[in-house]
Amino acid sequence: MIDRSDNDGVTWLTLNHRKANAFDLEFSLALVDAMGELHDGAGAVVFTGQGSIFSAGVDLKRIVAEGESYIRAFLPALDDAFRAVFTLPRPTVAAVNGHAIAGGAVLACACDHSVMARGDGRVGLPELAVGVPFPPSVVGILSSALPRPRLRSILLGGGLYAADDALTEGLMHELVDADALTASAQSRAQALARAPAASYAATKALINTPALAPADALGLDATIEAWCSEPVRSAIARYVEQTLGG
């Protein structure tokens, strides 16, 4: 699900889960485990995707097929996965090789820096178009990553952005030609890792920890109940049928 390689002090984690690197229960748990293995190490981490997609977000077809019991197991695992990336006390870079939609965009925004390849890839947060509320931790991560004036329109509008527009909106930090993506991400990761590891970790914690405070206060229970409710599950089913072909 997650392929690891090491290159000159940088750990590369390649998402390799089915066709679209979609988030499901097992993939979320694997990402938490991967972050646990990296937690106390040194050097930077780069996330990228296999094929032409970074991540297409949550596996909505599985949500529809497996229903409430699956949702109740999945959402806490997804929440843990995003938190684990966001709070990792090491430099993190997203090398966005294609579509980064919903959970894929959250994963990129959870990193300290994002580099996207020019091309046909789209970035966006269409949760409200699907009909689901954002988990509080996701809003915390996005509020830390996105320019404040743009946060409201990006989340409430639910649009998908081409690479140039994703850069303008603040969803990405850097845009490069596709054949330069690996080298650019590697270079940025090495540059971030030049700071003493303890100093970088302490500074990152001061920036990121407050962003999760509202989510910690609210908890995840209300989000889980909303996702399990009949109106939201029906909205997901309609979206899957109309947009993803059932």
Active site residue 127: yes
Task: Find the catalytic residue in 127, 174, 230, 241.
Answer: 127
Handedness of CA 189, 192, 196, 197 (dihedral sign): negative
**The overall pTM is greater than 0.85:** yes
Provide the token pair at 128.
């409200």
CATH of domain 2-192: 3.90.226.10
Please report, in tens digits, the pLDDT of each residue of the chain (246 residues total): 999 999 999 999 999 998 899 999 999 999 999 999 998 888 999 999 998 999 999 999 999 999 999 999 999 999 999 999 999 999 999 999 999 999 999 999 999 999 999 999 999 999 999 999 999 999 999 999 998 889 999 999 999 999 999 999 999 999 999 999 999 999 999 999 999 999 999 999 999 999 999 999 999 999 999 999 999 999 999 999 998 775
Distance CA 94, CA 45 (A): 9
Domain range list for the chain: 2-192
DSSP E strands: which ranges in the chain? 2-7, 10-15, 44-49, 53-55, 92-96, 99-101, 113-117, 122-124, 160-162, 174-176
User: Which pairing describes strands 2-7 and 10-15: parallel, antiparallel, or unpaired?
Assistant: antiparallel
User: How far from 91 is each of 185, 194, 195, 202, 238, CA to CA, in Å?
Assistant: 12, 10, 10, 12, 39
**Could you give the 3-state DSSP secondary structure of residue 75?**
helix
